[in-house]
Structure 1
Amino acid sequence: MTTPRPASSRRSRSRANGDGTIYQRKEGRWEAAGYVLASGNIRKRVRVYGASRKEALGKLTEKIAASNLGLPVAASDCTVSDYLTYWLQGIAVHQVRENTHTRYAACIRLHLIPGLGAKKLARLTARDVRTFLDHLRAACQCCAQVRDTDRRFCCAIGQCCNKRLSPLTVTYVHSVLKSALEHAVREDDLPRNVARNVKTPAPRPRRFKPFTASEARQFLHAASSDRLHALYELALRTGLRKGELLGLHWEDLDLDSGTASIHRSLQRTHTGGLTILHTKTRASERRIVLPTECINSLKTHHERQQEEREAAGTGWPDNGLVFTTPTGRPLDSSNLTRRFRRLLHRAQLRSIRFHDLRHSTATLLLEQGIDLVVIKELLGHAHIGVTADVYAHVRLRLQREAINTLGDALSPGRDDPDGAPVAAIVR
């Protein structure tokens, strides 16, 4: 005589056609399965899991509802190529900025799909990912992207140029794959994120060349006669990003109290051209104090802009931007970069990136002994660890100077001008 299975583990009561099936597994978890629309406009069976019947049913219902709306849903037996396409078009497009999405798309098209696209998503292993990344580091990109068919490049001229990806790019490709697979784990398409089990060497941080105090003074002197003098003052004295400067509106400034609200940025996107967006991160939204020099230069800039506005007449667009072209149009980032380089040449200063003005601000503040927390708030970093990591070389130099100063004080034969030492409590 057979013992009947407990009611909780029996297959659930019949469900309507198309609603899928749901039952409890031997280990206690609930499994639900059903057919949904997958990449390639075909229907595939998906399985989801939950700690309770309600949880598993809710996950399956969500997938079926998305499928009924015509949205492709990833299936566990799909290829990595199919899943990355689904993730890029259905998930990432709603979570990141357009420019970031464009970089994701290029990364997937050029590297991830050629290297891992043919593998089944459910069978992808950490070894597959590690092997792919090792090959990516070693491969000549002219050969990998079939650019050597052009007679001017690489193997077409009889010698491979060995043009390899930088460690930073390899790390970026790895991070995109991890992000995509993490979503597969959240949707129960994968039990774990195998890309997270692969460790890649930390790339060397980008080297930047901030101004010294002497060079900064020379730069500000040269910029004093420039039409965008106020912009350069703000960049060097407050460390604002280029997009934050170009997206600044007059309504964001309070010149009477000497403050500025930073909450938007001007960026060029593929579809919208020059577009006002939110700042880089939520931490980038901040209120900063304006130096007196910036307040004065902004007032002068406002007067000049009013003259340009009157000269342009009805052709002046009412966009409220602080920094514009002489006709009131938004300033393009690339045009500002060219102007900046010409200014450096006129000032007979070494060539640096515009973003290095921001690094110059932080470096000079650190060298003046300003607390790292204050610099973090001024720059709009999400975490103080970011500030500490970026400017670690400055902190080490300051530590060395402090240690040397202490060494001088402790050197033999040095007299204490104050006589006997003062007792102190060590905590």
Structure 2
Amino acid sequence: MTSSETNPGPSTSTSSRRVRANGDGTVYQRKDGRWEAAGYVLAVGDTRKRVRVYGSTRKDALTKLTEKIATSNRGVPAPSAQGSVAAFLTYWLETVAVHRLRENTHTRYTACTRLYLIPGLGRKKLAKLTAKDVRTWLDQLRVTCQCCARGLDAAREQPQCCATGTCCRRWLSPLTLAYVHSVLKSALEHAVREEEIPRNVARNVRMGTPRPRRFEPLTTEEARALLTATDGHRLSALFELALRTGLRKGELLGLRWEDLDLTGGTASIRRTLQRTNSAGLTALPTKTHSSERRIALPTECLHSLEQHRERQAHERGAAGAAWKASGYVFTRPDGSPIEGATLTRHFNALLRRATLRRIRFHDLRHSAATLLLEQGVELVVIKELLGHAHIGVTATVYAHVRLRLQRDAIDLLSNALRNPVEPATRSENRDEQHLRAAPVR
């Protein structure tokens, strides 16, 4: 046996190590103990650049590098701090936000980026973007007529705004401005996490708290009139359920018969029915984790749901082979799910026939919460019924108090000030006193 057979030497140990293929990048351990992986990926302008990622272990560093190379192989350029804000926003929407947002939310983010963010800040370098740039741009956007900025007036057959020399002053609402600001903050926050920029400059810009959209919920008399108007309507059970429980439109349309326990008088809210660009009308998870809940059903709703089930059975028999067994509680006459826009049209027609004032369907949810508040129901109970994530949301949205409740509170205080409490009568034992408190409603 030769010495080479007994001692393989360093050449054998080197050959046993796995060799990374060309294009897979390199990985090595730094002097500080961290692992660093480097490789070439696609950059803006059909060029390639070398990127470096770090991890506490060799596997972590390789995983991060593999993700960047895989994204590059799909033709998506990697963002660069030296690149523009527009390039990073495009990368963020196509590779990050698309996997973390609902499809409809992603569509709104994309529209917001296309209409406002890229035209306003797209040409600036990501690394050189400052809080002053963001604030100046938002202040300018606040007083920019959208007819002029987006060319809406020029596309009209008869111009009405800038082309006639008279600006219509079609400005963005404070809520829209706050939404644009939040989208920019979300994008830059991801740039910070990927170590593209050191800090999120959009967080240093104060927009103020926009006033919530004012809504006029139904009064008790109007709610009674609406319930009376629903008699005989094929969706009367839906309208009554919306007014008495405050369920969202998508939650109502997403109810299945398996979600209802008419014997126990409960309903399980597990999904919402919405239309998306890719899948059409489809069932999605509830808006938040707290929105998935179990609620108690009023006795009146139990009766109306029983009648609705009988009506649906007659419609199934009349449709015959054309019946579409979707399993939903509220369907079209052929059993297929109901579109949200279709329900809105039915609701508006119902309001016209009942000669009630025009409100949104979502205002039924606000009406249910407001009427419960007027009856003295605690906020925590209303929060559970509506499916809010935090009680602060319930308190903020329904902080308004009707004039009648304000009058009741003022009258209660006036009565207390006008009728002072009689002095406590002393018992024969001076150590004991009978305290008489003012009545509290």
Equivalent-residue separation in structure 1 for 2:51 and 2:407 (angstroms): 60
Q: Deviations over 1:117-140 (max 9, x none)?
A: 111111111111111111111111
Equivalent-residue separation in structure 2 for 1:203 and 1:337 (angstroms): 27
Out of 173, 186, 193, the residue aligned to residue 166 of structure 1 is 173
Q: What residue ranges of structure 2 are gaps of 5+ in the alignment? A: 1-19, 427-433
Out of 152, 161, 182, the residue aligned to residue 159 of structure 2 is 152
Q: Deviations over 1:232-291 (max 9, x none)?
A: 110000000011111111111111111111011111112322111111111110001111
1:15-164 equivalences in 2 (<5 Å): 18=23, 19=25, 34-39=39-44, 41-48=46-53, 59-68=64-73, 70-150=75-155, 151-164=158-171
Task: Between 264-273 and 369-378, report the one with greater CA deviation.
Answer: 264-273
Using the size of structure 1 for normalisation, the TM-score is 0.87
Equivalent-residue separation in structure 1 for 2:139 and 2:437 (angstroms): 60
Out of 345, 357, 377, the residue aligned to residue 338 of structure 1 is 345
Contact 1:219 1:347 in 2 (8 A): yes
* SS of corresponding position for 2:41: strand
Equivalent-residue separation in structure 2 for 1:326 and 1:210 (angstroms): 31
Equivalent-residue separation in structure 2 for 1:347 and 1:416 (angstroms): 56
Partner of 1:393: 400
Equivalent-residue separation in structure 2 for 1:20 and 1:395 (angstroms): 68
Supply the AA of the counterpart residue of 1:377.
E
Equivalent-residue separation in structure 2 for 1:124 and 1:418 (angstroms): 74
Using the size of structure 2 for normalisation, the TM-score is 0.85
* SS of corresponding position for 1:159: coil
Query: CA, structure 1 residues 272+53, in 2 after alignment: closer, same or farther (shift >3 Å)?
Result: closer
* SS of corresponding position for 2:189: helix
Equivalent-residue separation in structure 2 for 1:45 and 1:397 (angstroms): 68
Partner of 1:4: none
* SS of corresponding position for 1:342: helix
How far did residue 307 of structure 1 move?
A: 0.3
Equivalent-residue separation in structure 1 for 2:165 and 2:210 (angstroms): 32
| Matching of residue 325 in structure 1 with residue 332 in structure 2 | yes
Contact 2:292 2:387 in 1 (8 A): yes
Residue correspondences, number? 410
How far did residue 342 of structure 1 move?
A: 1.5
Task: Between 319-328 and 289-298, report the one with greater CA deviation.
Answer: 319-328
How far did residue 157 of structure 1 move?
A: 1.8
Supply the AA of the counterpart residue of 1:375.
I
* SS of corresponding position for 1:392: coil
Task: Between 227-236 and 190-199, report the one with greater CA deviation.
Answer: 190-199
Q: Deviations over 1:200-240 (max 9, x none)?
A: 02111001111111111111111122111100110000000
Q: Deviations over 1:131-158 (max 9, x none)?
A: 1111111111011102232342311122
Partner of 1:411: 418
How far did residue 52 of structure 1 move?
A: 8.4
1:169-318 equivalences in 2 (<5 Å): 169-318=176-325
Equivalent-residue separation in structure 2 for 1:280 and 1:21 (angstroms): 42
Query: CA, structure 1 residues 270+416, in 2 after alignment: closer, same or farther (shift >3 Å)?
Result: farther
Task: Between 179-188 and 35-44, report the one with greater CA deviation.
Answer: 35-44
Supply the AA of the counterpart residue of 1:36.
V
* SS of corresponding position for 1:410: helix
CA RMSD of aligned residues (A): 2.9
Equivalent-residue separation in structure 1 for 2:242 and 2:218 (angstroms): 12
Equivalent-residue separation in structure 2 for 1:189 and 1:291 (angstroms): 55
Task: Between 268-277 and 49-58, report the one with greater CA deviation.
Answer: 49-58
Equivalent-residue separation in structure 2 for 1:343 and 1:89 (angstroms): 42
Identity of aligned residues (%): 66
Equivalent-residue separation in structure 2 for 1:277 and 1:418 (angstroms): 66
Supply the AA of the counterpart residue of 2:116.
H
* SS of corresponding position for 1:284: coil
Contact 1:366 1:395 in 2 (8 A): no
Contact 1:260 1:288 in 2 (8 A): yes
Query: CA, structure 1 residues 37+401, in 2 after alignment: closer, same or farther (shift >3 Å)?
Result: farther
Supply the AA of the counterpart residue of 1:106.
A
* SS of corresponding position for 2:206: coil
Q: Deviations over 1:73-113 (max 9, x none)?
A: 32222211111111111111111111111111111111111
Task: Between 391-400 and 138-147, report the one with greater CA deviation.
Answer: 391-400
Supply the AA of the counterpart residue of 1:246.
L
Equivalent-residue separation in structure 2 for 1:144 and 1:130 (angstroms): 19
Q: What residue ranges of structure 1 are gaps of 5+ in the alignment? A: 1-14
Contact 1:215 1:349 in 2 (8 A): yes
Contact 1:39 1:86 in 2 (8 A): no
Contact 1:25 1:31 in 2 (8 A): no
Task: Between 306-315 and 47-56, report the one with greater CA deviation.
Answer: 47-56
Supply the AA of the counterpart residue of 1:102.
T
Partner of 1:364: 371
Partner of 1:421: 435
Supply the AA of the counterpart residue of 1:234.
L
Equivalent-residue separation in structure 1 for 2:143 and 2:51 (angstroms): 37
Supply the AA of the counterpart residue of 2:125.
K
